[in-house]
Amino acid sequence: MLVIAYIGPGAGIAFLGSFLLLLMALVLALVSALTWPFRFLLLWLRRWRRGIKGKVRRVVVVGLDGLDPQRVRKLIAQGRMPNFQQLAETGTLTELATTLPPISPVAWSTFMTGVNPGKHNIFDFLNRDLRTYLPELSSARVTGGSGWNWLAALGLAAGPVRLLRKSQPFWKILGDYGVFSTILRVPITFPPERFHGLSLSAMCTPDLRGTQGSYTLYSTNAADCADAIGGLRIQVTREANRIRSRLGGPPNLPGKLPADLEVPFTLDLDPDGRGGELSICGERVRLKLHEYSPWMRLTFKAGLFTSVRGICRFRIEQISPDVRVYVTPVNLDPERPALPISHPLYYSIYLAKLHDSFATLGLAEDTWALNTGAIDEDAFLEQAYSIHAEREAMFFEALRRTTRGLCACVFDASDRIQHMFYRFVTPDHPCRPTADEARHAAVINQMYERMDELVGRVRKAIDPQTVLLVLSDHGFCDFSRGVHLNAWLRDEGYLVLESGAAGGEYLAGVDWSRTRAYAFGLAGLYLNQAGRESRGIVAPGAAADMLRAEIAAKLRRLGDPARSGRAAIKEVYDAQKAYSGPYAANGPDLVVGYHPGYRASWETAVGRTEGPVLSDNLRRWSGDHCVDPSVVPGVLLCNRKLSDSSCSIADLAPTILDLFGVEAPGYMDGKVIKMQ
């Protein structure tokens, strides 16, 4: 997964007044209710005319992001995952081949479409703007500032955000044949698409500031506020026992000050240092030290008749000697979302009314706050499992209501916890835990046990005729050393800086008239190709082919002097051979597959050019999967025996279509896995 540091210059987002949005949602809900009998009859007739006869009535998919098959087997052998063990004995447990690269947006896009990245157009979290060389979010794009109007809500006009993932998710195809689906938090579903079913968006859904998640930390200590990586840090003054400040929200209207809309708040601290009382947007709530507040509803007023709604949670991290208050990223309010986050529009409102407010941010677990020390491990775990509990409540309710068709939900805690706690199970990791932190050494295994318990409850909730698929998009491994691809390209003469340039993020200071290759993101390396990049110099055709082969051969020989010359890179893939389809040219020219323990450095991820080629990873984000796909396969469990244990994540879409009697489209790359 990614954090805010990977997302480039923030894109502004257009908002709709909350009252009008709520009115639209109610109208849409009424229209949907009134037309439901006719739509049902139409779908039934369509299914009958096409002669569709499914093999099953229901398929349930439980996605456990990042669950590693090697650790699963180890814990099963220790008797610590009894539900997985029973599934393995009565059904199937096997590895699931992941994508190139094994990155969540790529893998989940392949899961839902059954095609390789050359056909679904997602190659990383980031893509590059060929005109400016600046990175942009690969999955969605802000298309204009005119706002989200009622025509867009009805699907009759383009909204302010456009989905960049191509190809159809298999549940859209199922819907065309009358099969209903409930899709909860499957990555790369923002903005939501229209289909016969319900969906709640996930990965790449922004926060209210238009970022992929930026927290706020208030502190009375100036040193705390010196570095604002990953969020906002604001110095405050303690006046007796009161803290006054403002919480920033969405961008203001163009030309208006302040640049971001804000709401004031006060925090009155208890004299005994045990907590305080928070007042914000007309709400008052008691806060205890080291405990999260409930979701606080915020209203940011942009004008007389225009306001934007958001939600966040507060946590007092420290009261003495300094005051430190952490605030989560300001999520879109599911009851009055400023951007579409569900299909139909009213579905998120229904969920909020049924379950209360919940996290809507795509990367809701605040890994960056832990990475930068804004919160500690205990606060992160509490947050991650709170979000997990929200999702469980939605999923089991959906499971109860979806008696026919498809019900799918992806849970993210398994991925986020491994990212942040892998250093506790890696003895020689550069970010070594202190003696006090060693109590977290069991966190990852405990998380696996918790996922096993979840699967056990799902098994009890379904009937024997339901097909259950439990899968992960990739596995996990250690991330101890970073490979700075731009530094390597610089040292090898492929990337040249302007005279006197000191470097910086997003390829600042690069002399494009002499640069032949560059990198950013987590796996890709790009040629500066003439006729493609705005200032490209590498001739397409034979010259580009030779350069790709030359760079790949040299990278394969890259050794790590600090680790006795150990190879850092397992393979370098030529994208022209690895990908096929109409969008293959939109991806990188070379894809780097790292050995376990290595990954693209933090500097490479944001397009920096300064620094050494190899360096220790000193951050808490200590586990990863952005390596060679052969190293981190996912896991697949099924309550049926599968005829073929050699499975790929691309096989799930055609297989599920086949279970409902729908023939997979010819463009799909995956195969149908037969079940006994």
- Starting at the earlier edge strand, list the strands of the sheet with 331-332: 296-301, 307-312, 331-332
Dist CA 295 CA 646 (whole Å): 44
Model confidence band, residue 50 (pLDDT cutoffs 50, 70, 90): low
Residue-level pLDDT at 33: 60
Dist CA 64 CA 59 (whole Å): 16
**pLDDT above 70 (res 210):** yes
Query: H helices within 92-145, ranges in order?
Result: 104-113, 117-120
Dump pLDDT digits (tens) for 583-640: 999 999 999 999 999 999 999 999 999 999 999 999 999 999 999 999 999 999 999 9
Q: What angle do CA 8, 409, 167 make, to 5 degrees?
A: 60
All domains of the chain, ordered by start, with CATH?
4-209+332-476+632-659 (3.40.720.10), 215-328 (no CATH), 480-624 (no CATH)
Q: Which residues contact 56 (CB under 8 A, 6 or more apart)?
A: 465, 466, 467, 659, 660
Output the six-digit token pair for 111: 């899961």
Whether the CB-CB separation of 580 and 100 falls below 8 Å is answered with: no
- Rounded to the nearest integer, the mean pLDDT of the chain is 91
Q: What is the mean pLDDT of residues 352-374?
A: 96
Dist CA 55 CA 107 (whole Å): 27
Dist CA 615 CA 599 (whole Å): 11
Dist CA 612 CA 616 (whole Å): 10
Dist CA 441 CA 426 (whole Å): 10
Model confidence band, residue 150 (pLDDT cutoffs 50, 70, 90): very low
Whether the CB-CB separation of 12 and 251 falls below 8 Å is answered with: yes
The structure's pTM equals: 0.91
Which carries the bigger pLDDT value, residue 10 or residue 671?
671
Dist CA 184 CA 410 (whole Å): 7
- On the CB side of 213, how many CA atoms lie within 13 Å of its CA? 23
Dist CA 135 CA 213 (whole Å): 17
